[in-house]
Structure 1
Amino acid sequence: MTERRTYSYLGPAGTFTEAALAQVPEARGQVWNPVHNVGEALADVLEGRSDAAMIAIENSIEGGVSTTLDALATLPGLRIAGEYLVAVNFVLVGRPGIRLEDVQVVAAHPVAYAQCHGWLGEHLPRHAHVPAASNVASALGVLDGSLPAQAAIAAPGVVQHQDVEVLAEQIGDNDNAVTRFVLVTPTTVPPAPTGADKTSLIIELPVDQPGALLEMLEQFSTRGINLSAIQSRPIGDELGRYRFVIDADGHIHDERMYDALLGIRRFSPRVVFLGSYPRADRRIVQYPERYADDIFVEARDWIRGLLSGEPEA
């Protein structure tokens, strides 16, 4: 009998993270372990309690999730195995019998709260905010009285798991909001390229001087690699020092990406390879023909010929 795999995710049941994990075919029918935060999820993976962890890494409205980016930058031994997109919207819920006009304090995860500012300003202009650890935790805190709030912002899935009164639906300010999640595993061999791949890296600049960032970016542009995301995070050792979290179109097995990583390694004092994995949208990566794999192979063969003294054709 095959042993079941364990997946950690930000719980409890009903979170957007659970919805992301539900998109992973190999996770179905396995053990799902709800945790309290990103640090706990990644610790489960590193310490062998879980085979993988689903964590939020980016939101289309708020940008990168700082706790996730900083954890991936500082915890060795992790790889991103895949990415998953979840459309994000919210409901306002309370204990049964509560009315919208009774709400004075709203419990919400800070990211969720930021995405509902407009609706709250229009419908509850005098409300106060109490932070919660997750969207479901905000609802649970209202239900059990552990949070001093009459209502909570939560994911719509909370209605399937908790006895809550829905005070309002579709309260997000942007109907197109999406959160990007990544499935993180222990370090392993990258999966085979699919042609619709993404490579994620964290790169520190060697010095703080004019042109340093440009020199880093040129490692990709001169090889025809598009960067789908670039975010800066403070390193934390002194003011003005940053690391850059980069998503590059392509796979480490692609000759152009392989060559770019060689350049990045020579350039930067510290590079964290987070993984090459299939894009969530499965869009085939486009690039100029002069950066095709066989062009790089031919160029290397030409150099080898020069070094071996072969006559040029």
Structure 2
Amino acid sequence: MPGENSDETYSYLGPAGTFTEAALEQVAEAAGKPWRAVNNVGEALDDVVSGRSFAAMIAIENSVEGGVSATQDALANIQGLRIIGEYLVPVNFVLVGRRGTTLADVTVVNAHPVAYAQCHRWLERNLPHHGHIPATSNVTAAANLLDDSAGYADAAIAPPGITAHHDLDILASGIGDNPNAVTRFVLVGRTAATPPATGADKTSIIVELSSDEPGSLLDMLEQFATRGVNLSLIESRPIGDTLGRYRFVIDLDGHIRDERVADALLGLKRFSPNVIFLGSYPRADRVTTKVGGRYDNAVFVDARDWLRGLIGGEPDHG
């Protein structure tokens, strides 16, 4: 968009009306700033790296299908990025068609693959013989119905507010298989100093195993378990250079400035050939991470002070 200031522009998966746009609407700092609709995660992150945008909103996980592999792989391979916030969006879907279309007319459905997966049981029950044409977004799927050159779909899976943007009929509502489905989005900016801990934080990292041998996964997990660090997500993704080589996408409770988290990351760095720090940021649900006993910050600090005292020749008082 001509005249946009890259220090203020936010990129998101468009067009207008997507769940990604709904996530961006939760960012107070983005209100009144230029928003740039893009076609995919790669384009959104390229906007950030190239400086076209200050930050980009991308989907990273949903409660039905798990992690979004395209996002995970992009974050693993594109340098210079940091997650600066997370946002949750309740997800449900409607089935829409051209004016005058009925459910009985539907033989082919246009849908984003993730949305299609979240509605497959409803589709199997109500349209058992349908075909599927993938779309780049849920809104694009609906818009394609009005474009004669876009394909041969009779209906599309779309967000509930789609008729405010396109002249279509709703053929069925609430078609998502899980009425409690939620998609987690992250706001990604360029690498910068990590903000202070809030007490209700999450840290995201990507870790490669050193080798494909017995015990290597356990070695990785022990770095967290022995320090009382809870993992809220762990998913494997192939590195792609050879069979049997994997990286792990991990979300953990806490902030890199928390002593137990920092110590765990140091442990990972000692044995992993590649640890990618994606960021520490406030949790969307603002739930405070509770720790105590031997995992409290003060205990780690006291242990290091004790060690420094021994090295400096101070008496050992236990």
Same fold per superposition (TM over 0.5): yes
What residue is the counterpart of 1:174 in the other structure?
178
The letter for the 1-side match of 2:125 is E
Aligned-partner SS, 1:85: strand
**Deviation, structure 1 residue 89:** 0.3
Are the equivalent residues in 1 in contact too, given 2:7–2:54 (CA < 8 A)?
Answer: no
What residue is the counterpart of 1:218 in the other structure?
222
Are the equivalent residues in 1 in contact too, given 2:105–2:154 (CA < 8 A)?
Answer: yes
Of the three residues 281, 302, 307, the one matched with 1:277 is 281
> Residues 154, 276 of structure 1: CA spacing in aligned structure 2 closer, same or farther, 3 A cutoff?
same
Aligned-partner SS, 1:180: strand
Q: In structure 2, what is the Cα distance between the partners aligned to 1:128 and 1:43?
A: 33
Of the three residues 117, 129, 133, the one matched with 1:130 is 133
The farther-off stretch of 118-127 and 69-78 is 118-127
Of the three residues 251, 267, 270, the one matched with 1:263 is 267
Of the three residues 170, 181, 189, the one matched with 1:185 is 189
Of the three residues 63, 68, 83, the one matched with 1:65 is 68
Identity %, equivalent residues: 67
Are the equivalent residues in 2 in contact too, given 1:94–1:143 (CA < 8 A)?
Answer: no
The letter for the 2-side match of 1:34 is A
Are the equivalent residues in 1 in contact too, given 2:82–2:192 (CA < 8 A)?
Answer: yes
**CA displacement 1:235-274 (0-9 Å, x = unmatched):** 0000111000000100000111111111111110100000
What residue is the counterpart of 1:35 in the other structure?
38
**Deviation, structure 1 residue 41:** 0.2
Q: In structure 2, what is the Cα distance between the partners aligned to 1:312 and 1:122?
A: 72
**Deviation, structure 1 residue 147:** 2.2
What residue is the counterpart of 2:59 in the other structure?
56
**Deviation, structure 1 residue 113:** 0.6
Q: In structure 2, what is the Cα distance between the partners aligned to 1:184 and 1:301?
A: 37
Of the three residues 228, 235, 240, the one matched with 2:239 is 235
The letter for the 1-side match of 2:200 is A
Structure 2 unaligned segments of length 5 or more: list them.
Answer: none
TM-score (normalizing by structure 1): 0.98
The letter for the 2-side match of 1:139 is A
The letter for the 2-side match of 1:138 is A
Q: In structure 2, what is the Cα distance between the partners aligned to 1:162 and 1:7?
A: 24
Q: In structure 1, what is the Cα distance between the partners aligned to 2:52 and 2:269?
A: 32
**Deviation, structure 1 residue 3:** 8.5
**CA displacement 1:132-152 (0-9 Å, x = unmatched):** 111011001111121210100
What residue is the counterpart of 1:294 in the other structure?
298
**Deviation, structure 1 residue 289:** 2.1
What residue is the counterpart of 1:199 in the other structure?
203
TM-score (normalizing by structure 2): 0.96
Aligned-partner SS, 2:179: coil
- Indicate the RMSD between aligned Cα atoms, in angstroms: 1.1
What residue is the counterpart of 2:314 in the other structure?
310
The letter for the 2-side match of 1:159 is T
Are the equivalent residues in 2 in contact too, given 1:8–1:53 (CA < 8 A)?
Answer: yes
The letter for the 2-side match of 1:205 is L
Are the equivalent residues in 2 in contact too, given 1:4–1:31 (CA < 8 A)?
Answer: no
Q: In structure 1, what is the Cα distance between the partners aligned to 2:19 and 2:225?
A: 35
The letter for the 1-side match of 2:181 is A
Are the equivalent residues in 1 in contact too, given 2:6–2:53 (CA < 8 A)?
Answer: no
Aligned-partner SS, 2:145: helix
Aligned-partner SS, 2:284: coil
Are the equivalent residues in 2 in contact too, given 1:78–1:185 (CA < 8 A)?
Answer: yes
**CA displacement 1:219-245 (0-9 Å, x = unmatched):** 111111101110000000001110000
**Deviation, structure 1 residue 4:** 6.7
Q: In structure 2, what is the Cα distance between the partners aligned to 1:237 and 1:190?
A: 31
> Residues 181, 302 of structure 1: CA spacing in aligned structure 2 closer, same or farther, 3 A cutoff?
same
Does residue 159 in structure 1 map to residue 163 in structure 2? yes
Q: In structure 1, what is the Cα distance between the partners aligned to 2:188 and 2:276?
A: 14
**Deviation, structure 1 residue 288:** 3.1
Are the equivalent residues in 2 in contact too, given 1:106–1:153 (CA < 8 A)?
Answer: yes
Structure 1 unaligned segments of length 5 or more: list them.
Answer: none
The letter for the 2-side match of 1:289 is G
Aligned residue pairs: how many? 312
Q: Which runs of 4+ in 1 moved over 6 A?
A: none
